Structure 1
């Protein structure tokens, strides 16, 4: 599908369907980035669905505790708890997954909603040596999903249920793609984001490219799950919303963003409904079957066709090339670089 500015505006002006609800009794939900913005609103929705366990996975303890207290106060949920994870540190991601597996026998929903957007053309690198946005938006969510997939496969088999992994993407993926010469490099992943090889300034399409990678990863992982495993992987866009994602933008860009927000932005709660739909939808009576959400790109409570690039032969090749690079050895998560 080709996506135009007119289509974007029309979508933003479209009334967002009500949040879909279901009974999560007995089920375990993990939300990454649960203390702020759209992830926080999605977590509140899950809290109202009576989950056996609702885990707020946050980087900052103080902010996480404040979010947990507010959720308890607003929803009455008594089964929510805070767990710390820092997506800019692979060791933290691995520790989170290990602790989860030790304490919980099932995982029904994994929503990975944390993200950052570059505030400068100068790359900022994590302790692991990767560009911050790339690691937080792509590498760590992919790593965490791969670490927790075995528990979700077991959950599906043991409890005869359909667990889901939902990653966050954006309509901006329609307006970017990757150069063939870059992908043909044996060090493509490192050229894109490692301090040893990323020598150029970050460009305007940096954030859209990280969201394209999220979509590629979701589609590739869904293709590689065992047949009949009943674990669904998808990607959802909240649309353009009020959020903390652009909180560090300054100067003239801040003025532009303020104008766009006033004219087009959805509330964070409206945006969160897309994450919830991807994780527990469709509602009874909707036209979709659950199976149709496998590998899907989701917007406005519907399965949308992603960009022409994503569904092209070239896009499929890029998707497989990038997924093949998401190996623990390549990410060097066992070391400090």
Structure 2
């Protein structure tokens, strides 16, 4: 489906339904990026549903603690926990997963909301472009270590321009994340949208490889265009344009968070209805024409293989999981 700018406007001006509610007694929920924006609002909604555990996963101790305190005041829920994770650091992601494994219990809902929007190449300690590592690599790593996820994507994926040299590259993730490619400012202009495209390709590739016997539901969710700190690096004409766009079209963070809640809680009695889907406007929506094309399918397979190779070197558990559960159901 080709998502036009007019379709975007109609979607933003449409009346949004109230938040979906459910009884989460005894269930464990993790929300990444829970200290601000739609992540915090989603955590607040979950808190009103009495989960057995609610973990606010944040990068900053001080900001996370402030969010935790506010959540308690706003909702009265007293069992929320603050856990620290830095998606720009693979070792932090692994430590987070290790801590949860030691604590035991089953993870029921993982909302991977954390992301950054940058137009600059900033290398991480792991020698990756920070946007690609935070928005895609670490998000995928955590999903594979936890085997549970709703990944927050974006409608911006519809407007990514992919050249033949990119979708035919068997090491497409390595290529788009290397210093030489990222040092060209022109290649960084669409970086956020590219990472959101990778999110959708990951969700679809993972779902294609999941045997029907594994009760895992993974989806990509578009929260819509919301007031957000995500665009705090905007400057000049881009910042002015975004200022007008927000006032004309943007949802509040609370409204955007309702889509995350819907993705996590709808069809609980019929989970097969939401497997490997792209969700927007509180329904399953067709992904972009490129994703559905033979070229998109080729990029999806290449990016999956490249991602597994990259993350397998970061944590051997990724390789073990893929070989044990995800290698024998590959879609043709």
| TM-score (norm: length of structure 1) | 0.89
Distance 1:299-1:102 versus aligned 2 partners, 3 A rule: same
1:53-111 Cα deviation digits (max 9, x unpaired)? 00000000000001011111111112110000000000000010011110031100010
Matched, 1:183 2:181: no
1:252-274 Cα deviation digits (max 9, x unpaired)? 22111110001000110000011
How far, CA to CA, are the matches of 1:44 and 1:330 in structure 2? Answer: 32
Deviation at 1:233, TM superposition (A): 0.3
Q: Among residues 241, 266, 271, which one is paired with 2:256 in the alignment?
A: 271
How far, CA to CA, are the matches of 1:185 and 1:246 in structure 2? Answer: 30
How far, CA to CA, are the matches of 2:161 and 2:278 in structure 1? Answer: 16
| 3-state SS in 2 of match to 1:327 | helix
How far, CA to CA, are the matches of 1:320 and 1:57 in structure 2? Answer: 30
How far, CA to CA, are the matches of 1:185 and 1:302 in structure 2? Answer: 33
Deviation at 1:133, TM superposition (A): 0.5
Moved more, 248-257 or 30-39: 248-257
Deviation at 1:318, TM superposition (A): 1.0
How far, CA to CA, are the matches of 1:207 and 1:235 in structure 2? Answer: 15
Matched, 1:303 2:288: no
1:38-58 Cα deviation digits (max 9, x unpaired)? 111001001111100000000
How far, CA to CA, are the matches of 1:295 and 1:177 in structure 2? Answer: 23
Q: Which residue of 2 aligns with 1:112?
A: 112
Q: Among residues 181, 202, 205, which one is paired with 1:220 in the alignment?
A: 205
How far, CA to CA, are the matches of 2:210 and 2:133 in structure 1? Answer: 23
Q: Which residue of 2 aligns with 1:14?
A: 14
Q: Among residues 132, 135, 141, which one is paired with 2:133 in the alignment?
A: 135
| 3-state SS in 2 of match to 1:230 | coil
How far, CA to CA, are the matches of 2:84 and 2:294 in structure 1? Answer: 40
Q: Among residues 264, 267, 275, which one is paired with 1:294 in the alignment?
A: 275
How far, CA to CA, are the matches of 1:95 and 1:7 in structure 2? Answer: 42
| 3-state SS in 2 of match to 1:245 | helix
1:218-258 Cα deviation digits (max 9, x unpaired)? 11111212222121000111110001101121222211111
Q: Which residue of 2 aligns with 1:248?
A: 233
Q: Which residue of 2 aligns with 1:155?
A: none
Matched, 1:166 2:147: no
Alignment of 1:227-238 (within 5 A): 227-238=212-223
How far, CA to CA, are the matches of 2:18 and 2:125 in structure 1? Answer: 41
How far, CA to CA, are the matches of 1:49 and 1:116 in structure 2? Answer: 29
| TM-score (norm: length of structure 2) | 0.90
How far, CA to CA, are the matches of 2:314 and 2:162 in structure 1? Answer: 25
Instruction: Check conservation: 1:128, 1:333, Cα contact below 8 A.
Output: no
Distance 1:138-1:332 versus aligned 2 partners, 3 A rule: same
How far, CA to CA, are the matches of 2:144 and 2:268 in structure 1? Answer: 28
Distance 1:95-1:297 versus aligned 2 partners, 3 A rule: same
Instruction: Check conservation: 1:20, 1:283, Cα contact below 8 A.
Output: no
Question: What is the RMSD computed on CA atoms of the aligned residues?
Answer: 1.7
Instruction: Check conservation: 1:44, 1:71, Cα contact below 8 A.
Output: yes
Q: Which residue of 1 aligns with 2:177?
A: 193
* Structure number having the greater helix percentage: 2
How far, CA to CA, are the matches of 1:246 and 1:304 in structure 2? Answer: 25
Unpaired segments ≥5 residues, structure 1: 150-163
Deviation at 1:283, TM superposition (A): 8.3
